């Protein structure tokens, strides 16, 4: 599976809970955060994805995080 596919699957599994790029990087063992950022940046506003400054459901920091709502 591509990195983009893994990131989308991870966000969808969280069922509406937002996740920040740092936690995505950590969870998927990506080598650099920019790998997550380039994907999440493209997701915002499309296909039920919301990308905004909100508390991350995993690390609780308020920063730009991505969530998915059906
Ligand atoms: Zn986080």
Ligand 1 centroid – CA 28 distance (Å): 13
In this prediction, residues 12-21 reach a mean pLDDT of 97
**Run of H or E residues at 64:** strand 62-68
Q: Please determine, for residue 39, whether its predicted confidence score (pLDDT) is greater than 90.
A: yes
Span 45-68, pLDDT tens digits: 888 999 999 999 999 999 999 999
How close is the Cα of 65 to the center of ligand 1, in Å?
8
How many angstroms separate the alpha carbon of residue 1 from the centre of ligand 1? Answer: 23
Ordered by start, the domain boundaries in the chain are: 3-68
Q: If we measure between CA atoms, which residue out of 53, 58, 63 comes closest to residue 11?
A: 58
Tell me, in angstroms, the distance from the centre of ligand 1 to residue 58's CA: 5
CA of 60 to the centre of ligand 1 (A): 6
């Amino acid at each position: 599976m591509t990195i983009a596919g893994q990131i989308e699957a991870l966000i969808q599994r969280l069922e509406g809970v937002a996740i920040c790029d740092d936690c995505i990087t950590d969870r998927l063992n990506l080598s650099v955060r920019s790998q997550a950022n380039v994907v999440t940046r493209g997701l915002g506003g499309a296909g039920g994805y919301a990308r905004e400054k909100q508390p991350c459901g995993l690390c609780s920091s308020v920063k730009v995080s991505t969530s998915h709502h059906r």
